[in-house]
Amino acid sequence: MSESFTIAIDGPAAAGKGTISKAVAAHYGFGHLDTGLLYRAVGARMLEGVAPIEAAQNLTPDDLARDDLRGPEVAQAASKVAVVAEVRAALVDFQRAFARRVGGAVLDGRDIGTVICPYAQVKLFVTASAEVRARRRFLELTAAGKVISLEEVLADVKARDDRDMNRAEAPLKPAEDAVLIDTSDLSIEDALAAALAVIEERRSAS
């Protein structure tokens, strides 16, 4: 195996890619970067009145460590700043450097297999129906004490899907050589097993 081994995991919100990415990284002892967090941090700064490009060019570790990045307002703001080419450009180097880290890396996001790491040894596209994803996000948010309806969450998910898939810069879509995993009817264990099966095959080939 070469020194750096990169696993790119893309897909829409709440498809399970975060859970799979964390588990895969833990399984192999690889580093994990949730790239959505970068866009969320920029979105949170925008909500505070900072211009998105300026925020992206000056992100600090503290911005990424904020504990208010998981809510639906920040998610919507993230998908709004994510359409701006200069915002995306400002975040590229950090992601690519992480992907090349010695010992292996798992990156999850929307454009990892298509734009950030087109050379990745493994590309997965993790998806699920909008209804299933909304229900999962709804359960997460209400468990965390957020008062929100399932309908609102579904509308949020669909608005974000629409913005992410239809933007000019790095739209959300599977890379041509990505393996699709639809988690709509899969347990977490089965989704992880499907991901590991693909990765094992690639690792033995590299």
- Does residue 199 interact with ligand C5P by CB under 6 A? no
Among positions 8, 75, 99, 194, the unique one binding ligand C5P when judged by CB under 6 A: 75
| Rounded Cα gap, residues 112 and 99, in angstroms | 10
CB of 168 to ligand C5P, least distance (A): 12
SS3 state at 123? strand
- Does residue 110 interact with ligand C5P by CB under 6 A? yes
Structure tokens at 59: 């992100």
**Can you tell me which residue has the tokens 């701006």?**
84
Structure tokens at 89: 């450009």
The residue count of the chain comes to 206
Among positions 32, 40, 133, 137, the unique one binding ligand C5P when judged by CB under 6 A: 40
- Does residue 79 interact with ligand C5P by CB under 6 A? yes
Complex with ligand C5P: residue 108 or 192, whichever CB lies closer: 108
Helix ranges (DSSP H) in the chain: 17-28, 36-47, 52-57, 61-65, 72-81, 85-99, 130-143, 150-166, 188-205
**Binding string to ligand C5P for residues 149 to 188, with x set by CB under 6 A, is what?**
-----------x---x------------------------
Structure tokens at 127: 């998806």
CB of 29 to ligand C5P, least distance (A): 23
Our measurement of the distance from residue 206's CA atom to the centroid of its chain's CA atoms, rounded to an integer in Å, reads 25
Among positions 36, 72, 104, 113, the unique one binding ligand C5P when judged by CB under 6 A: 36
Instruction: Give the CA distances from residue 151 to residues 46, 135, 185, in Å, rounded to whole numbers and listed in that order.
Output: 26, 9, 21
Q: Which of residues 1-30 bind ligand C5P (CB under 6 A)?
A: 13
CB of 205 to ligand C5P, least distance (A): 26
| Rounded Cα gap, residues 96 and 90, in angstroms | 12
**Binding string to ligand C5P for residues 88 to 107, with x set by CB under 6 A, is what?**
--------------------
Binding site for ligand C5P (CB under 6 A): 13, 35-36, 39-40, 75, 78-79, 82, 109-112, 160, 164
